[in-house]
Structure formats: C-alpha cells, structure tokens
Structure 1
Amino acid sequence: MTFGVTPHYPSTAYGYIQRGDDLTDEVSTVTRFIEKPPAKDAEVMLFAGGYFWNAGIFMAKASTMTSALRQYCPDVLDACQRAVALQHRDHDFVRLGHSAFEACPRISIDYAVLEHHGNVAMVRFEGQWSDVGNWREVAKLTPPDTDGNRIQGKGLGLHAEHTFIYAPHRPVVALGTRNLLIVDTPDALLVASEDFSEHVKQAVAALERGGVPQAVQHRRVARPWGSYDSVDAGERFKVKRISVNPGTALSLQMHHHRAEHWVVVSGTAKVTRGDETFLLTENQSTYIPLGQTHRLENPGKTPLEIIEIQSGAYLGEDDIVRFEDSYGRVTSTSTDSEKK
C-alpha cells in the first residue's frame, strides 16, 4: 500500500503516482510510477487529474516486503541480512557488518520493488504533507510577515518582499530583495532565486567536483564519544572545539606531522601523554608533541569541552595511527570518516 498526495502545483522535485481503477471509495490500483518529471509534464499531469505526488510512504507486512525483496532484488535482501547477522555492539551503538552493508546496492525501494510488484494499491493522503525537500518548502514552515518575508533566526529584511532568510548564527540583512532564498550556515552561504529551489543538488555537485570540502562534510561532526567543530584553519594551523561525553574516550593515537595544544574550557579531562596520565580542569592546558602517543578521556559526570590547536606541516585527517580504541577503529591509518 502506498499513499498519494494531491499535488498543489506542478512540482519537478517529486515523483508521481498515476491512479488506476477504484477498489473502494478511498483505495485505487496503481497504473504506474513516474520519476520526477520536467516542468511541462508536471503541468499536464496537474491539470489532467488522476496523478498524485509519491509521498514515499509505504505500508506492508514485514513478510510481504521480505518476500518482494527476495523476488525482485535478492542481492539487497542478502546484503542486509548478512549485515544484521554480523552486527556487534559497543556501548549504546549497534554497528552492522560494515563490509556486508557496504556491498548492498544503492537503490530506492520504489525502483527495487514498487515499480515491479503486481499488487500495489494507493490511498489518497488527505492530511498536510511535505517532504521538506527544498528550501522553498522549508520556508513555508515559517509564517510570513506583512511583506511576505519569512525569517528564521537573526535575519532582517529591509524593503524586501517574499524573501526567506535562515540565519541561526549571525545577523544576515536582505536589502531590497525579491523572491530570494538566503540560507546562512557555518558550512556555506546559499543565495538562490525561489524558482531555482529544486536545483541545489546541482550546486552541491559542482562544489564536489571542484574539491570543496564543505560539499561532503560539515564543520561540526558527530562521533561516538561526542563531537568536534572545526573553528578555524590556515597555513600550518587548525583550531577545533572538541566535546567529549561523560565516561567516553578518544582513541590512543599518534600523529607523524602535527603537534597539539589542548585547553580545557569546561569539565575534567584525563590525559594520557606517553607514559604520563594526569587530570586537567577548567583553564588548564597541555602540549602533545609531534610523534607522541596520547589519549583524551572524560572521567567526569558532565560534558568535557576543550579547544585543540594543531600545528605542523601537514594537518590532514589521515595523519593518525591508532593503538587502542573503544569503537573498533584500530587501524594503521584512518580515513576522513574515521576522524579522531
């Protein structure tokens, strides 16, 4: 069973479902699924009627779905079952078998099952729905002012109309703008015409091709032990704000090309540096020389926050050797995704 949303405008961001014969007053068969259409086709479907946005909401018995996966995409089912069978736990994390899950083909459930299955029905979804799939949809979550501006955070519109500002971190002023989307985040700034709200993926792809790191990673990154925020970086230095959850620890590690200074902002830090182990509290600091084994732990009951200043000729995240780790990441070198 799938759910179709009555379209409000000719969206090119959603897939569509063509309704078939009525089975009951509220349920019908499905004639076909239609991939995200060009604007002209979306307009035709909107005025023709009988076409619904594909909400991506499906309902089936687990046994029905498993049977369908086995019939139409057994390689997906096999990879998922092997990943679950190879799972292991560390603390409050359940980690699926990495190599098995990585081998799972990348395909949506629509393509894998729904488009091939011979027994699919649709219910018209009558409630309010949005997949918040673009910034224009996000803007609609904020009530407009008298000029049609929608502002979240520290935005200010002057002589502006129908402008959306998302500015949670710093003041952003829109002066004399019309029909714009302005999204300011710690990673990047987006200024777009409302008509191009569904084209952000093209911009991200262009940034990724250009090697811009913000296209694939955030400034603030979550980790099993807490998180880090890359505050600043320049020639031969990098500054991070590191937050360590109570009772957790980073890996015992060493760097070939960089030294580190740690300053405790709040909480208590247990520091291993070579053969030494000692505690640091608020406003205290320590120095980790290049090539020195070290570890940071939070033995306390409250979060630990430190400022880490890295210095050296090479500050890449692959310059790390792990000797011990609570999260199964002991390797000779790490990748960007295994940072710290």
Structure 2
Amino acid sequence: MLGAYPLSLVAFVSVMVFLWVGLGTVIIWVGIPLLMLTTQLVYGFAALDRRWIRVTLGVDIPTPRIEHSGTMFQRWRAQLTHAQTWRNLGYLLLAFPLSIIEFAMALAGIVLLPIAIWVLPSIASLHAALAATMLGPNTTTRLTERAQRLQASRARGVDAAEAERRRIERDLHDGAQQRLVAVAMGLGRAQKKFDADPEGAKVLVGEALADAKLAVSELRDLARGIYPAVLGDRGLDAALSSLAAKSPVPVEVTVTVDPRPPAAVESTAYFVVGESLTNVAKYANATQVTVKVWREDRPSGDMVIVEVTDNGDGGAAFRPGGGLAGLADRAATIDGVMTVVSPIGGPTVIRADLPCTW
C-alpha cells in the first residue's frame, strides 16, 4: 500500500496531463500523437498494476487479449473503440484516490496494530477485486476463451482416445488374440491324438496351457493399461507406491490428496507418474526420483498437482507422437495442464495441474 501510492500518482498525473493536452491541441493535429501516446500509457500502467498486484497481493490477473491489425492509426482507432481501453482508464482514475486512502491507512497501521490486522486486509481485498474486475478480461471474454480452450482440449481428447483405441486393438490382435488362436489350434490337434498318441496329445495340451497363461497375462497387462485395479480399490497413494516399487530407479512418493479426487483425475495422475517413471528408467540415467501429489484450493476450484522430479541428464520435451505429448492430451481432456522443465544436464520436473471440477 505504501508503494502503490507513488505508482498511482505517477500514472494519474501522466495520463491526465497527456490526455488534456492532447484533447486541447487535437484541432491543430498536434494532439493526435499525444492521444496515441496517452492510450499506450494507459495500457502500460495497467500492465504494471497487474504485475504489482500479483507480486504484492498474490492475485494473478490475466491480461486481456486484444488483437488488431492494420496501420498504427488503424490500431489506435480500434483501441479507442475497445471497452478494455476505457476500463483500464477507469481503473487508473479510481486507483488514485483509493491509493491515497491506502497510504494513510498503511501509515496508521504501522503504529496501530488493530488497523494492520483487521482493516488493511479488507482494503487490500477491495483493491484486488477492483483490479480483477477492471484490468482483467470481462465475463464474455473469459467465457469465450474458456469455450475455445475446452473445444481444443476436447479435440485433443478425441485424438488421444482414438490413439488409445488403436493401441488396444493392436495389442489384442498381435498379443492375446494370437495366443488364444494358438490355444484353440493346439487343443484341436490334441483332441485328434487322444486315442492314437496319448503322449503326443499330452504335450500339445501342455503347450496350449502355457499359451493360455501367456494370453491371460497379456490381457491382465492390457487391462492394467486401461485402468489399474489397485487404483480403483485403494486409491492414488497405493497405486503410485506400487509403480514406485516396480521402478529400477529409487523413487520417493508423497501423496496428500484427501478427500479422494474424481476417478478421471486419479487415472490421469497415475498415468502421468507411470509414463514419467518409464521415461526416467529408459533415458534419464537418474539415481533418484521424487513423486509428489497434493491438493490445492484455488479460487477457480480444487486442483490436484502431480510433480515428478529426477536428477538425470535432462532434455525431456513434448514431441509429436511421444509419451509426454500423449499425457498432455490426456490431461487436456479434463482441462488440465502439463508442463515440462528439463534443461540439458537436469534436473527434470514434469508437472500436471489437474482440476477436480470441469
């Protein structure tokens, strides 16, 4: 609050001086470039206020997207007719008297502890709400952007589901189906030999039994790839601990997600960790992996955060058709976001932010 006052003062004085001088000289055309400069000052101070509020109050205000093309004058004219320009200007005009009150209150709060404890947080919340309302995207823009994001995530989800369907068909055709055909053929040959060659029939039955066991194993692995039984029965903590136990690289697992998240969130988190551990074992040359899963309460709703960190060689990235890209598509189906930070030399951090409501 102490720092917001000089910032608001500079913004208010700068914008007002250039605005009134520009309006007063527009008749002789000198005011046109001054008004153009004023418009850029309004957007510049609005962006500075968004950053200031994010740093001091911890409130992240998205920057409204304004797309204009054409000459400089055409872009400026489009800005003048855009509602966000006037919302930014209105905020700068309102923020100045508010900053005077905040400055006085902050000085009083240094001396009077009750003001610092009970009054200042309320004023800060008011300031943050005002800024979010006037400097952020309006309701129509937010809904449009969300609809576009959901449409894109739905398309990615459809592609991911189709790729998964093809994988299941391929695994069934090349694996379990072939095994079961071999079982049927072996039992058929054995049936013909029961009377004439009992020993030969016994050998064929043994081979058919071995193929049947392999087919059952392949079907079990296939089912586990669709939805692991331990995840449905015992939850995310037990499922991830099971993955960690099978990893050739030592894995430390920490899971705090109570209450239990939706099944779609659990399965996405499970496959994010599973694919990450597989990549670590194959490519990373790591000696230690840390898996952390926790729940966060955000203004937009509860989130489950999955973070996998290894001390390997780094260099992991999203590649078309790759495992990480497939995980990003899976996360997008529930409006989740995946990020990968993996500089050469490591460490690698794979993170998924998964909403519990969508």
Please indicate, yes or no, whether the TM-score normalized by the shorter chain is above 0.5.
no
TM-score (normalised: structure 2): 0.24
| Higher share in strand | 1
| Higher share in helix | 2
Greater C-alpha Rg: 2
TM-score (normalised: structure 1): 0.25
